[in-house]
Amino acid sequence: MKAERCEFSHFVIHPGHGMRVTQRDGKTVYLLSTKTRSLYLQKKNPRKLAWTVFYRHKHKKGTGQGGNQKKRARKVIKFQRAIGEMTSADLLKKKNESSEKRKLLRDQQIRAAKDKAKAKAKSGSKNKSGGKKQSVPKNQKGGKSAPSKNIGQRK
């Protein structure tokens, strides 16, 4: 015979001990003692009785090696991911740069963009003829002009 578990207290019942109760629905229940039988038939909750295995399990009593020890949380390891088109190596390089160096680079880029815009403006003004603006009204449609209305005159 194998050792059974008490349905109420969840203690081990060795062969030759305990009692077997068969319920009306045909379910067979193994109980360790008259104490557990009485409490089971009263439909008591074993999680509320301090001496049962269910209570000890619920309240985390006696689990783990060497008494009550809290589980240690894993140490969080920071991991740098790529953002957009920048790889993680580019991000690290940018992070290690000093703010002064970044400011100089930004100023150089702004100056280069302004110089490019000036050069484009100069080359654009040379291509136009005479440099004067021609007064051409916008949204002008081609074709015949509308006939004038002579009101009050007969031919």
| The Cα angle at residue 49 between residues 46 and 54, in degrees rounded to 5 | 50
- Nearby residues of 3 by Cβ (< 8 Å), 6 or more positions away: 12, 13, 14, 15
Pick the CATH number of 4-58 from 2.40.160.60, 1.10.1060.10, 2.30.170.20, 3.30.420.10: 2.30.170.20
- Nearby residues of 58 by Cβ (< 8 Å), 6 or more positions away: 47
Tell me the C-alpha distance between 68 and 60, whole Å. 8
Tens digit of pLDDT at every position of the chain (155 positions): 789 999 999 999 999 999 999 999 999 999 999 999 999 999 999 999 999 999 999 998 886 655 556 778 888 888 777 788 888 888 888 888 788 888 898 999 999 999 999 999 988 876 655 555 666 667 766 655 556 666 666 65
Tell me the C-alpha distance between 132 and 134, whole Å. 6
Tell me the C-alpha distance between 126 and 117, whole Å. 15
